[in-house]
Amino acid sequence: MNTKPHVAIVGVSGAVGREMLVCLEERNFPLSKITLLASARSAGKKLTFRGEELTIEELTAESFDGIDIALFSAGGEISKEFAPIAAKAGCIVIDNSSAFRMDPDVPLIVPEINGKDALHPLRNIIANPNCSTIITLMGLAPLHQAFGLKGIIASTYQAVSGSGAQGIIELDEQMKALVAGNPVKPSVYPHQIAHNVIPHVDVFQETGYTKEEQKMLHEGRKILGLPELKVTCTCVRVPVMRSHSISMTAIFEKDPSVEEARKAYEGKPGIRLVDDPQNALYPVPLGTTGKDDCEVGRIRKDQVLPHALALWVVGDQVKKGAALNAVQIAELL
């Protein structure tokens, strides 16, 4: 690969694709050229990068000639169709969809946790994990390194931007309708999201869990290299614009004290300890929105299970949960 690679963003017109562009600029990523790709519907539109106006091009099978790294954020079906084409052309694909996450030949990477696994992709494809999985594991990885993680009991509080732009629009329109005294008609979600919470993210499986809830189990096992990790999770959509929050009890091989747990975060990149509840200091979604780092707090001994801690982790799911994580993988390469 060139010292300064030619980078493409596939799906640049979407929220995560645009955030990828922002992250590349914010981090002064050393690229020689950038190509913006999207559907025919978005082709011809303009976006600005480093003060230069760039035109979005239509994604085709010929789009990847001469491109070194392609950041994909266009949905699973597009990834399944075009990622193998890009990989065959010699491009390394970093894919934000779920299409390749559980493929045994495709690394599933959170750079702060298992970044070394990204350096030799067998198929020229690297997968970006699910947003709530990334944020959860950012909070748990330092504790796992110190005490040996065995199990997770979690509930997520997921912002509407996790559903894309339409989720944001729906919450905004419903809030305005309620203020005006007008009726609310759900469209994106099965129930009204304004003034409500909905324990339903993704589709339900025969087990009674949703696909989103199972991602934390399967992806967590792969990223941490813990095939026996036990996870039970409930994913909830909440009327928050941006940043996911996770409440969890984590069970360990060793019995950590709260003081030892707090110390485990010292010097760890990408995660910030915010844990002074007596002074109302703990992570909240507005405190992480637009920020690179996730935050962890409310660390306490679990009162039911032995060798367990209860904790609260929050992170911007558009940034660290998607776009930033992909750009960090590109930085590793």
Q: What is the 3-state secondary structure of 248-297?
A: EEEEECCCCCHHHHHHHCCCCCCEEECCEHHHCECCCHHHHCCCCCEEEE
Assess contact for 109 and 116: CB atoms under 8 A: no
Give the active site residue among 6, 23, 91, 131. 131
| Cβ-based neighbour number of residue 50 at 10 Å | 11
Assess contact for 79 and 97: CB atoms under 8 A: yes
The answer to whether residue 131 is catalytic is: yes
Q: Is 12 left (phi over 0), alpha (psi -120 to 50) or beta?
A: alpha
Assess contact for 135 and 157: CB atoms under 8 A: no
Give the active site residue among 91, 233, 244, 294. 244
The answer to whether residue 244 is catalytic is: yes
Return the bridge partners of 154, or none. 233, 248
Q: Which residues are catalytic?
A: 131, 244
